Amino acid sequence: MALDTDKNSYTVIFAAVMVVVVGSILAFLASSLMPNIKENERFAKQQNILYAMGVNENGDDAGSVNFIPTDKVGAEFTTYIKEQLVIEGGKTTQDGEAYLIDLKKQLANKKKGKPYKLPLFIGEKDSKRLYIIPMYGKGLWDAIWGYIALDDTMTVQGVYFDHKGETAGLGANIKMRYFMDDFTGESILDGTKYAGIAVAKGNNDPLNKTKDDNEVDALAGATITGNGVAVMIKESVNLYKDYLETIRVK
């Protein structure tokens, strides 16, 4: 049987069948893999929060990022994270699943003037209380996000950054240890102002020995991603300013 593939009716039918077939394949796949994907995302969030507060398996030698393995992360998360708070309209409540709050959605609500929830995590490591703030912002191509762990003097104890689609080898390096480690020890305060930490070019301090300048050394070739990180930190800590003022040691 010879098919006349040039007929309009054939073209329309083919297109319709193709859409249905492809659509069902993808829908079936998405729904059958969803539980696994959701679980992986949950583990990743726990890993990232723990990473920011310094609970990770980083060795002293190589500069690679090593999370707590997924089979242990659930238990470690409950050990180290003492409280999960949700700040909504100035009121603070406890919520054991605060880490699942999608910050992107909450910030969109804020923009539309709707009520929004801000999650915050209190961890304890080496009998020191750490306040871990989630962050969300934009890089050059797409979203960037992360967590920043502060102590009660507003000094950074660790950060974690990640990104959706920054340039490999350039902006994508914000999730490299040599960039993230620089933030540790910096203060987010400038006097009493929540100034954040600038990602500065040419601050002549590549080893980041000066910890009181609210600056870390930028990544070469990644100016816009770096600026995005700086803006993200500043905006995020300012969202939590009211809460942080209540726990800050003055």
Partner 1 sequence: MALLTKKDASLILDPLTDNNPITIQVLGICSALAITAELKASIVMAISVIFVMALGNVVISLMRNIIPSKIRIIVQLIVVATLVIIVDQVLKAYQFELSKTLGAFIGLIITNCIIMGRFEAFALANGPWKSFLDGIGNALGYGVILIIVGFFRELLGSGTLLGFPVLGDPILKTGLYATGYENNGFMIIPPAALIVVGLIIWVQRSRNPALVEEN
Q: Which of 16, 22, 75, 108 binds partner 1 (CB under 8 A)?
A: 22
Residue environment code for 2-27, b if the CB has 16+ CB neighbours within 10 A, otherwise e = eeeeeeeeeeeeeeeeeeeeeeeeee
Residue 168: count of CB within 10 angstroms of its CB? 8
Which of 31-39, 48-56, 88-96, 144-152 is the region at the interface with partner 1 (rule: CB under 8 A)? 31-39
- Indicate the burial class of 169 (C-beta count within 10 angstroms; 0-12, 13-18, 19 or more): exposed
Q: For the CB of residue 17, give the shortest distance to partner 1 in the complex, in Å.
A: 10
1 part of the interface to partner 1, by CB under 8 A: no
Residue carrying structure tokens 């309009």: 8
- C-beta of residue 232 within 8 angstroms of C-beta of residue 196: no
- C-beta of residue 161 within 8 angstroms of C-beta of residue 175: yes
Q: Which of 235, 55, 240 is nearest to 154 (CA)?
A: 240
CA separation for the pair 241, 125 (Å, rounded): 23
170 part of the interface to partner 1, by CB under 8 A: yes
Give me the amino acid identity at 248: R
Q: Which of 1, 3, 59, 113 binds partner 1 (CB under 8 A)?
A: 3
- C-beta of residue 49 within 8 angstroms of C-beta of residue 157: no
Q: Which of residues 49-88 bind partner 1 (CB under 8 A)?
A: 63-64
Residue carrying structure tokens 């999730």: 175
Which of 51-59, 114-122, 158-166, 238-246 is the region at the interface with partner 1 (rule: CB under 8 A)? 158-166
24 part of the interface to partner 1, by CB under 8 A: no
Q: Which of 83, 124, 162, 235 binds partner 1 (CB under 8 A)?
A: 162
Q: Which of 16, 25, 27, 108 binds partner 1 (CB under 8 A)?
A: 25
Instruction: Sketch the per residue contact string, 182 through 221, with partner 1: x for CB under 8 A, - otherwise.
Output: ------------------------xx------------xx
168 part of the interface to partner 1, by CB under 8 A: yes
Residues that bind partner 1 (CB under 8 A): 3, 5-6, 10-11, 14-15, 18, 22, 25-26, 29-30, 33, 36-37, 40-41, 43-44, 63-64, 162, 164-170, 172, 206-207, 220-221
